[in-house]
Chain A
Amino acid sequence: MHIPDGYLSPATCGSMYAVAVPFWYLAVNRVRKVLTNRTVPVLALFAAFSFVLMMFNVPLPGGTTGHAVGGTLLAIVLGPWAAVLGVSVVLGIQALFFGDGGLLTFGANCFNMAIVLPLVGYFIYKVIASNSEATSPRRLLAAVAGSYLAIVAASFAAGLELGIQPTLFHAADGTPLYAPYGLNVALPAMLIGHLLIAGPVEAVVTGGVFAYLQRSHSSLIKADAPRKKEGKLWLLWGALGLLAFATPLGLLASGTAWGEWGVDELKNMGLGFIPQGLEKLAGWWPAPLPDYGFPRMGAVIGYILSAVVGIALVAFLLWMLGRWLSRKSLAKQESSAKEASIE
């Protein structure tokens, strides 16, 4: 999944750096708080371990071999933010010394493997493991499921980054300048490979190591008390953000969503007549962003921009609604409490 330089346009690389930097910033702050002066030696040793882990050839049934990333395992043992930093450092060394992944694509590779992977893996692990004992089979299942889904999520992100290249960046005659395959090829190719090969490798390695840790080094598995609600909510936001990141998928679909045809389209579809009421009503609301696009802008960029605007709008409306509801229920509680005290 290490994307080399040359596959992504410099513009994409720049935006991926911009996406990754806040995560690094957050990770540095969080990790410093927990580990204080131990940060450097602990992260260095675990990053070195993670590098070695990526070099292990894992024998698979059927005679092939593969290697794991281990981001979820690191997140389980060290915590998600330490894993973000640890895997980023490993990716940096791999890019510099071994030509594994490029320098411009470093931001994108970190986003996929050092941010999406450990955060998704840890989230799933936490949700499934919940408050179970450190040595319980449920925790083992959580680690296996988390690591499998995490690498699939990371490959999905990589597939998106590769897949939007030919649409966004091509020469005047249509020759793709960077990765040549669109989303309809890049996404399935990445996903199938990771669902069938890399995912199982990751799950086998994580599960095997985790089971051994449960037997002989259970102190490394932190089965801490249930965390504050706040933390979980934050993770939910992370998952929603990931979904939003998948917006460009909409570019894949051709045509209009079923049942959302405009008047012109209905005519073309061979519907002999247009319901009069529809024709009348069709034009009454001039949408500010018709067909999810900004006027005078590339179709694709416009589409993504309108997605951002749409998400922000919906989030804002929901936030207002939430505030209103919580205030209402608070007021109700207060009034009922008053009544109770009066009685």
Chain B
Amino acid sequence: MKGEGFLTKNISNFTHTLESVILTEDLCHAPGLLQSLDSRVKVVTFVLFIVTVGLARSLAILGTIFVLILIFSFLSKVSLRFFLKRVLLFIPIFTAVIALPALFITPGEPLIAVAGKLIITEQGARTAVLLFLRVVDSLSFGMLLILTTPWTSILVALRWFRIPSLLVDILGMTYRYIFLLLHTANSMFLARRSRTIGTLSSGENRRWLAIALATTMAKSQHLSEEVYLAMLSRGYQGEVRVLNDLRLKRRDFLWVAFALLAAFILLWGNSL
């Protein structure tokens, strides 16, 4: 990759990340099914769902779960097109790359022969689809959770589950400063891009990239000192206190009951 192509690629990369997260935050406040549930309940039930996906052993169960996911997202005002686009976008390309050869190399009954010699075996097809569906289902649950729950509520839930407050505080602050640093990096790339005429060698680009990264690192270090002083002057003594007005409603209990029942029925399907 030469000169400006490399810069443009990075800029669009940063902008894309920023954009997608801003979009996420909008959906958290829409009036929908999942948005109305307590964040703790949601975290627990979604972990339960993901474990169920992990334990499911047949295509039928994984397919049923995907239908459930689509219903959840419809009831939570997440547009189907947006959701599918996002999930399919996030499915790492390598899942497809990994699943493909399994079609051919898994020993078993031949299903279809491609180009005479390549034979897709029945077991191979099952293996590939099983892996693909499992990845799609797990990813969709993670996506739904983050699309319908504000980040701060997830952090409060994590603290409620006795995750050490040190880790939760770091998580919260890291998320905040990622955007500042992304923005800083983006400006550096834009500035560089606007000064670049013609093409640069990839060695030149790498040298510039190293300097950009090292500068960002030094800036982070400097900023961490300033942030610490700012926290100190506001009375920080090593612990962050949060307002905690979590209260479970009737629908939360109903949802937990539903989730348990669904997981039980789905896993019972394993023994059929």
Residues on A close to B: CB < 8 A?
2, 4-7, 9-10, 13, 24, 28, 32, 36-49, 51-53, 55-61, 63-65, 73, 77, 85, 89-90, 92-93, 95-100, 102-104, 171, 173-181, 204-205, 207-209, 211-213, 216-217, 220
B142 touches A99 (CB 8 A): yes
Q: Once bound together, how far apart are the Cα atoms of A63 and B169, in whole Å?
A: 41
Task: List 9 tightest A-B contacts by C-beta distance, closest first.
Answer: A208-B210, A5-B138, A6-B134, A44-B173, A99-B90, A45-B224, A48-B177, A212-B214, A6-B135
Set of chain A residues within 8 Å of B259, measured between Cβ atoms: none
Q: Is B240 on the interface with A (CB-CB < 8 A)?
A: yes
B142 touches A48 (CB 8 A): no
A45 touches B177 (CB 8 A): yes
A97 touches B24 (CB 8 A): yes
Count residues of B near A (Cβ-Cβ below 8 Å): 87
Q: List 26 contacting pairs A-B, 8 Å CB cutoff, sorted by A.
A: A4-B139, A10-B54, A24-B167, A40-B166, A41-B231, A46-B221, A47-B170, A48-B220, A49-B220, A93-B171, A96-B142, A97-B146, A99-B90, A100-B92, A174-B108, A180-B99, A180-B131, A181-B102, A208-B207, A209-B210, A209-B214, A212-B211, A213-B218, A216-B214, A217-B217, A220-B218
Q: Which residue of A lies closest to B138 (CB)?
A: A5
A41 touches B224 (CB 8 A): yes
Interface residues of B in 43-65 (CB under 8 A from A): 47, 50-51, 53-55, 57
A40 touches B173 (CB 8 A): yes
A46 touches B220 (CB 8 A): yes
Contact of A93 among B50, B178, B202, B223 (CB under 8 A): B178
Set of chain B residues within 8 Å of A57, measured between Cβ atoms: 6, 9-10, 13
A4 touches B127 (CB 8 A): no
Set of chain A residues within 8 Å of B127, measured between Cβ atoms: 175-176, 180
B135 touches A4 (CB 8 A): yes
Residues on B close to A: CB < 8 A?
1, 6, 9-10, 13-14, 17, 20-21, 24, 47, 50-51, 53-55, 57, 87, 90-92, 95, 98-99, 102, 106-108, 123, 126-128, 130-131, 134-135, 137-139, 142-143, 145-146, 154, 164, 166-167, 169-178, 180-182, 185, 202-203, 205-207, 209-214, 216-218, 220-221, 223-224, 227-228, 231-232, 236-238, 240
Set of chain A residues within 8 Å of B87, measured between Cβ atoms: 99
* Contact status of A39 and B135, CB under 8 A, knowing A4-B92, A59-B1, A103-B47: no
Write the nearest CB–CB distance from B220 to chain A, whole angstroms: 4
Set of chain A residues within 8 Å of B6, measured between Cβ atoms: 57, 59, 65
The binding surface of chain A is classed by DSSP as helix
Set of chain A residues within 8 Å of B223, measured between Cβ atoms: 45
Q: Which among A10, A43, A49, A64 has the greatest number of chain B C-beta atoms within 10 A?
A: A49
B213 touches A180 (CB 8 A): no
Q: Which residue of A lies closest to B207 (CB)?
A: A208
B214 touches A213 (CB 8 A): yes
